[in-house]
Structures are given as C-alpha cells and as structure tokens.
Structure 1
Amino acid sequence: MSDFRRFRGTERYLTSEALEAAVNCALVLERPLLVKGEPGTGKTLLAEAIARSLSAELITWHVKSTTRAQDGLYVYDTVQRLYDARFGDGDVRDIRRYIKLGPLGKAFNASARAVLLIDEVDKADLEFPNDLLHELDRMRFRIAETGDEIAARERPVVIITSNNEKELPDAFLRRCVFHFIDFPEPELMREIIRVHHPDLDRALADQAMQVFYEIRKNTRIRKRPSTSELIDWIAVLRRAGVGEVKLDKALPFLGALLKKEQDVVALADQLAGGRRFRS
C-alpha cells in the first residue's frame, strides 16, 4: 500500500517499537486494536495520538456496565418527543428529530475515516464484545423508526481498551489485533517527563522518579501511582518551589501520588518501620 501512513507516535505521546507495530498492523488489516495494560500506561491517550497522527476525527465511547451494542448505533429519544408533544415545541411528527446517533453511528456516518475509541470494554456484559464486533463487521445499520440506513463510507480505525477486569470471548479476541502496554521503564519514563516538563532540573527529575518507583515496589499498595500521577506530582512540586524530594515521612504532596487511604497507611507503616520495600 503506497499510501499507507505509518503511526510513529507524536511529540507528546512516546511509543515503543512493539506498540507502533501493533497499531500499524491494525491499520493495514483494518481490524480493531485491543489494548490492555494497567491504568496510567496511556491506553486511552493512544487513540488521541492516532487520531492526531492521521488528522482524523476522534469519537469516544466510554463503556459502562449497562452498555449495549445497540446504544452505540443510535437512540430514539422518546422522552424529548413526549416533552415536545406536551409543551408544543416543534413538530413531533418528524421522528428524525428524535434520532440521536451513538458513537458507532457517528463513526459510520463520518464524511472521512474516523478514529473510534471504545474505552474499557470489559466493564460491559459478556455478550457486548461479540455484539460489538458484529456491528463493526456489518458497517451498516437501519434505523427502525424511520427506515433510514446508515452505511459507513470508510471503515473507522477502532481502538478498544481493557483493564483486564474480566475475560473477553475467544471469538472477540480472534478478530482483534492485540497489544499489552508495559509500564514504562525508567529510561522511557525520563523521556516522558522531559516531554511534559522540558525545563525540569535533572536532579529533581531523578529524585522524583526514584521516589515514584520505590513507592510502586511496595506490594501492600493496592493502587500504585501511574505515569499521569507522576507528571501531576512533579507539576505541583515545581509550582511550590520544591527543589529536592526523598522518600521519608515529610514527602510533600503525597495525595498527588496515592489515592486510597489504605495505601497512604501502608506507605506510612513502611516508613515508620524503616523496612525496605519488597520487590
């Protein structure tokens, strides 16, 4: 494909060769890319980076426990129609006014190839993934209330994220390109910090990273701090004029790193006991 545009990340989204290969594989095969990894590894931001790289519209669908594949196609707003009928606002006979396209419907109806992010697919019912891929395979649907058909002009780039909360069906997995995003090693993390804080003092960056990774080693901490929390913590440190940090009882702005009370207690216990973190 001579017109194939390879994804190589962006200025603000740094990638690995493996991740780039997975994205480009999905683009060539025109299959959904299923991305797994612990929170904070950039799964959601990946879709934004791909959309920016391809100069494409990004359409986001945040999945909930009650989400159905049908919800992604369209919804018929009967409540609004009933309200308009009661208070006389508009022509309620025109049902098309009350048809709202969902994320899938918008992606199919887009004038150019769009990037569709289906975020946290594992939150939904077990039948959702297979129903979802059925609709993606068809790339068209009919609106029952009006008889109108929506057919995709171009197959969207589909990015599906999962936090591994539940197993996904084998049939679903077979039809996806898969990639697991590893948590950044210190070398890559240093580059990520440089992107977000280009003029950060090298000594403070190294100290912050050391504290960050030491906290992540604590096996009693249930929600380990993520990349975004490290970036936020550094921003607060700089704003407050903190020039040096170390892992002790006086560690500033701990609430930017740890978000659970039991994790704060676990870290305090470790520091009070003077015990080293277990790897």
Structure 2
Amino acid sequence: MHFQGTDAYIAADDLRIAVNAAIRLERPLLVKGEPGTGKTELARQVAAGLDLPLIEWHVKSTTRAAQGLYEYDAVSRLRDSQLGEGKVEDIGAYIRPGKLWEAFAAEERVVLLIDEIDKADIEFPNDLLQELDRMEFHVYETGETVRAKHRPVVIITSNNEKELPDAFLRRCFFHYIRFPEAEVLEAIVRVHFPDIKDRLLTTALTQFYELRDTPGLKKKPSTSEVLDWLKLILAEDLSPEDLRRDSGDALPILHGALLKNEQDVSLFERLAFMSRSGRS
C-alpha cells in the first residue's frame, strides 16, 4: 500500500513520504498547516489514491471523544420503558456507533479522517490515546469489546489553534504542510484550470505572492483562496492588463476573494495612500 498522489491533488514529495511513513508505522498522521492548504482534502485524496473507503469525523468545539466510540441513548430507553416497548430489554438497540466504531467494524481497511482536532477540548486527544493505540474499546453498557477488523489509515488535521498534549504527539507521525512554492502552486492551479493562459497565470501568481508577502498582513490568503480568486478572474474574462495595479501597494482586483478582514483591507488602503503621497 503506497500513496503516490492523484490526478486531482498535487502532493509534494515530503507530504507523500509522510503519508507512506505513517502507513508503514501504523500510526496516525497528524497534519498541520495554514487553513486552506489542503489538509482535509489530503485524507480524501489518500482514500482515492489507495482505493479505500473514507470515514470523516469533523470535530467541533462541543465534540467529546466518547462520541467517536458510541453514544448510549438513555433518554429513549427510559421513554420506551414508560410506553411498554418490548425492545427496552435490548440495551444494544440504544447504542449508536460513532465514527471510530464504524471504522473498526468495516469489512475492509478504511481511511479515517479526524478533522480539526484542535477545535475540541484539550482533553479530547488524550481521551483517544488508548483507542488509537490498541485499536479497540469497551462498550460498558453491553459488556462487549469492539476491535478493529482492519487497522484504518488515520489522518488527523489541526489548524494549530491550541497545543496538543505531548502524550498524543508521541503516538503520531507529524507533518507540517508548508505553503507551496510558485512552481507547485502553478501545478495545483493547472489541475483546477487546465486552460488558463500562461501570461494570465504568471501575472496573477506574481501579484498573489506579493500580496502574501506584505508585512503586517493579519491573515495571509491560502491555496483555496487563490483558486477562488482565479475562478472569478476567469469568469470575468479578465486579461493580464486588467490585473495590473497603478501602484504595487494598491488593492488587487476582486480582493474580497483574497483578503478576509477589514484590517488587511485597511492596510492595503494605507499603503496605497502612502505610495500616492510619495509620488506627489
């Protein structure tokens, strides 16, 4: 089992090495990087590249680790007992399997995505240590032990919003997705827009990297945002000349696809004003 990338996902060499190392070690792959650099999409493309089913567990601030194992619906059982329902004696009827249970019970190996683990409580990763290590867990209500029929390929993403516990980090293979160099980003763009003209792409990416490198930028635009920007540029049938600005500090055309807060818009407006003042 070896991940080589897919036609729809340009994976750098170090990322492919990380994926295959995690598979070989049978450890979760912990992927960090700027929002929009393709961490979640990586899991989908690993599943596609290895021809495996994908199970996605999207973590929220209210998510508890136990929900990934199962949930016991005690309220429904109590209501059914009051109504005299016959199934109330079957406690298993009130157990709802979670995403880990689904992955463990699958008849073939799967890719399990645990997405944005850093959104949850700090104890969330620690509460999954034993289950991810042993690939099993106990269901206390029924007394059964659920064991993985096939060890899933586990990919965990984090936006680095909070530090993860050392004990959890020790059990993962770690990879940080760096923002792609111009050549890699050009290849990514051509996957999505194969007919884009060379001059337009060169002009757009030059302007994009200049914007990303602007000192004081609060939120740098990501890969997904440059793809949105180029989609708008192509939809409007803009030329390379349309993208050029009067000043290197002026706001780019359709900047709402790239700049996502008022502080960064104000920054470019101030820089443009200072540039115009300097020339007058």
TM-score (norm 2): 0.89
- Per-residue deviation, residues 33-73 of structure 1 (Å, max 9, x unmatched): 11111112211111111111111111111222333221110
Amino acid across the alignment from 2:244: K
Residue 159 of structure 1 pairs with residue 155 of structure 2: yes
How do residues 193-232 of structure 1 correspond to structure 2 at under 5 angstroms? Answer: 193-232=189-228
Matches within 5 A, 1:158-177: 158-177=154-173
| Inter-partner Cα distance in structure 2 for 1:90 and 1:214 | 68
- Kept in 1, the 8 Å contact 2:251–2:269? The answer is no
- Contact 1:69–1:131 under 8 Å retained in 2: yes
Amino acid in structure 2 at the alignment position of 1:211 = Q
- Deviating more after overlay: 85-94 vs 189-198: 85-94
**Is it true that 1:182 corresponds to 2:178 in the alignment?**
yes
In structure 2, the CA distance between the partners of 1:55 and 1:86, relative to structure 1 (3 Å rule), is farther
1:12 and 1:191 map into 2 onto residues whose CA distance is 11
Q: CA deviation at 1:191?
A: 0.5
Aligned residue runs from structure 1 range 105-116, under 5 A = 105-116=101-112
User: Is the contact made by 2:251 and 2:268 (CA closer than 8 Å) also made in structure 1?
Assistant: no
Separation in structure 2 between the aligned mates of residue 221 and residue 93 of structure 1, nearest angstrom: 61
State the match for 2:48 in structure 1: 52
57-66 vs 8-17, which deviates more? 57-66
Cα distance, 1:14 vs structure 2:
0.8
Residue 62 of structure 1 contacts residue 119 of structure 1 at CA under 8 Å; is this kept in 2?
yes
d(CA) in 2 for partners of 1:57, 1:9:
16
Alignment of 1:64-213 (within 5 A): 64-81=60-77, 91-213=87-209
Structure 2 residue identity aligned to 1:97? A
Query: TM-score scaled by structure 1?
Result: 0.89
Maintained 8 Å contact 1:211/1:247? no
1:197-224 Cα offsets, whole Å, 9 max, x none, are 0000111111111121111112322111
Pick aligned residue for 1:26 from 1, 12, 22: 22
1:81 deviates by: 4.6
Deviates more, 1:254-263 or 1:71-80: 71-80
In the alignment, structure 1 residue 8 sits paired with structure 2 residue 1? no
Equivalenced residue count is: 271
2:253 maps to what in 1?
A: 252
Q: State the identity as a percent.
A: 55
Correspondences of 1:31-42 after superposition (within 5 Å) = 31-42=27-38
Q: Deviations over 1:139-158 (max 9, x none)?
A: 12232223333211011101
Q: Over residues 76-125 of structure 1, what are the superposed CA-to-partner deviations in whole Å (9 max), with x where a residue is unaligned?
A: 23445566678899944443333221111111111111111111222222
Whole-angstrom distance in 1 between the partners of 2:251 and 2:157: 37
Please give the alpha-carbon distance, in whole angstroms, between the structure 2 residues aligned to 1:121 and 1:192. Answer: 26
Gaps of 5+ in 1: none
